[in-house]
Amino acid sequence: MLLKLLILDRDGVINHDSDAYIKSVEEWLPLPGSIEAIAQLSKAGWTVAVATNQSGIARGYYDLAVLEAMHEHLRELVAEQGGEVGLIVYCPHGPDEGCDCRKPKPGMLKTIAAHYDMALAGVWFVGDSLGDLEAAKAVDCQPVLVKTGKGEKTLGKTLPVGTLIFEDLAAIAAELIHN
């Protein structure tokens, strides 16, 4: 069954990011319009999944219970708007652990595709960092850059060929729902 699947990076796409990491539910603040965008997409029949690097776990800045609380909070906010969030996959490892899931490796995207029994070709993966776009490219997803979070900085780098660029998640929702 062909699912309308959209995969999102978390920090800098759904919520504000920080160079000091997002270390608590209190620090986890939605970007303007992002919760509404996810709810509108969900209500329009899209399955919205999340693939997020969380090396702050390996670095000891916060633990899995806090990370899960952030994601429960996200789910509650979207549910209040009548939508729902699909599978959230995270990489808890540090950059030097050689795992298969840390972006720019595509392991989390593959996990999401397997969960939904979907091919990844052409599925939009929305991120703010170059590693997000490279992960997308590695599995033939459509790389999509938003200018929120680290997006403006990423714009100055060499992007994968064919990368789509949007202001923010709200603009992406408008594009996908109305076209």
The CB-of-39 to ligand GMZ minimum distance in angstroms stands at 19
* CA–CA gap between residue 88 and residue 21 (Å, rounded): 18
Name which of residues 4 to 43 contact ligand GMZ (CB under 6 A): 9-12, 17-19, 21-22
* C-alpha distances out from residue 173 to 43, 44, 114, Å: 11, 10, 24
Residues designated as active site: 9, 11
Q: Which does 52 bind (CB under 5 to 8 A by kind): Mg ion, Zn ion, ligand GMZ, none?
A: ligand GMZ
* CA–CA gap between residue 5 and residue 176 (Å, rounded): 11
The CB-of-117 to Mg ion minimum distance in angstroms stands at 26
Dihedral angle sign, alpha carbons of residues 174, 73, 20, 134? negative
The answer to the question of residue 99 lying near Zn ion (CB under 5 A) is yes
* CA–CA gap between residue 112 and residue 104 (Å, rounded): 15
- Where does this chain bind ligand GMZ (CB under 6 A)? 9-12, 17-19, 21-22, 52-56, 95, 129
Interacting residue ranges for Mg ion, rule: CB under 5 A:
9, 11-12, 128-129
